[in-house]
Amino acid sequence: MTAPRLEIVAIGDELVHGSVVDTNSAFIARRLEELGCAVTRVSIVGDAEQDGLALLREAGARADLIVITGGLGPTEDDRTRHVAAGAAGVELAFDARCWDWIEAWFAARGRKVGDDNRRQALLPQGAVPLANDWGTAPGFALSIGRAQAFALPGVPAEMVEMLEHRVVPRVREQFAARLRPIAKRALVALGPSEAALGQRIADLMADSAAVKVGITPQFGLLTVRVVADGRDDAEAAARADAVAAIARERLGADLLYEGEGDPAARLVALAAARGSTLATAESCTGGLIARLLTDVAGASRVFLGGFVPYANERKTGELGVPPETIAAHGAVSEAVAAAMARGALERTGASLALATTGIAGPDGGSAGKPVGTVCFGLALRGATGAVVVRAWTRAITAVSREFVRQRAALEAIAAALRELAGPPG
């Protein structure tokens, strides 16, 4: 028996025009895929009724399950209830229970409900109202064509709670016999191009009903995702593990880590586990590494601080880079990167310091040092207190200034991850 086919529909002009990024659909897809649904399509449509009506009618003819987000507010452009009613071939009707919920929500906050909010108590005839304990807009469940549809608010915080507490239990009950448990594995690599990595695992990415393998790129970071289903959790896990083992071998030394989570979060957690502290000295990345680290909750446990010595005088004044080193090798050089890393380590007392200096572009390059040339330094304080410094250079494809900076930051963080993942020094 096949898994229930799920389509996700996000409604709103703000999504179509790009004013707001649709994060709801990604969350819904992940959560219901984990539950055992097969996500077959994700669509974004504007507020125009005719467009939404056509889309929901098509989805109702294809899917077993539809989750709709957005358009349940109190204003004239909130048309989801009208569109859903039209797709189901029914009229709208005022729902007294929904109105009671809305009035209670406002009363609990000492506010008076407005007349416009009565619009939120209109439901397609035959729809099952879904209480929203986290906002003013009730959702509803409704049959559209062959599909069971759920309409949820577009506010992410409300949608997440309603999906978990109003939709997931109903999907579990209605589709119990068809839900196919899945297991996911993620292997994160940094080094090869997407094309080169794709060649290594091309056979694994061949179309398969039981195991799906794909590559997700982000500023040079490549995540090999393995998604397997099975008759039960054990079978799904066994299938995913078998394919992940092959992918792990193919990745070899390019494998950075396994599992979800961004590299900066991984580095903060690993440094905390090892009792290590971190510092940065950034020229071309302009504090980006420090920002990525401090974006992680709990970074204060391990990150002591950073320097952004953009001008050569600051490299000398703040970090003690010898002027003669800059004169002899240039600011973009391994010698300067090494001196920056050592300076950051000595001035902060950190266990490990990272440094970057390079040419992010779009201009400033030369024949010997083209745009995208970035030099890195890593200084490490060993158990005996001795400091070891190493430096290296990467030629980063100059897609854009932002790409060079982001890729350089990832390179530095990855180097620290690999360093700390080894045996204690």
pLDDT in tens, 212-257: 999 999 998 999 999 998 888 899 999 999 999 999 999 999 999 9
Domain ranges within the chain, ordered by starting residue: 5-174, 182-258, 263-421
> What's the pLDDT score for residue 423?
58
Instruction: Give the separation between CA 211 and CA 16, rounded to whole angstroms.
Output: 32
Question: What confidence score (pLDDT) does residue 425 get?
Answer: 46
Q: Does domain 182-258 have CATH number 3.30.70.2860?
A: yes
Q: Does domain 263-421 have CATH number 3.50.50.100?
A: no
Task: Give pLDDT, residue 121.
Answer: 96
> How many CB atoms sit inside 10 A of residue 222's CB?
22
Nearest to 56 by CA among 167, 142, 164, 125: 142
User: pLDDT at position 246, please?
Assistant: 97
Sheet of 65-69: strands edge to edge?
38-45, 5-11, 65-69, 147-152, 139-144, 128-130
In the numeric block, the tokens 């005022």 are attached to 94
CATH classification of 5-174, choosing from 3.30.160.20, 3.40.980.10, 3.10.20.310, 3.60.150.10?
Answer: 3.40.980.10
| Mean pLDDT per 10-residue interval, the chain, length 425 residues | 92 96 96 93 97 98 98 94 98 96 95 93 98 96 98 97 98 94 94 94 87 93 94 92 97 95 96 97 98 98 98 97 98 98 98 98 94 98 91 95 96 97 64
The confidence score (pLDDT) of residue 204 equals 96
Residues 6 or more apart whose Cβ sits within 8 Å of residue 242: none
> If you average pLDDT over every residue of the chain, what do you get?
95
Interval 112-146: pLDDT, tens: 999 899 999 999 999 999 999 999 999 999 999 99
pLDDT value, residue 1:
64
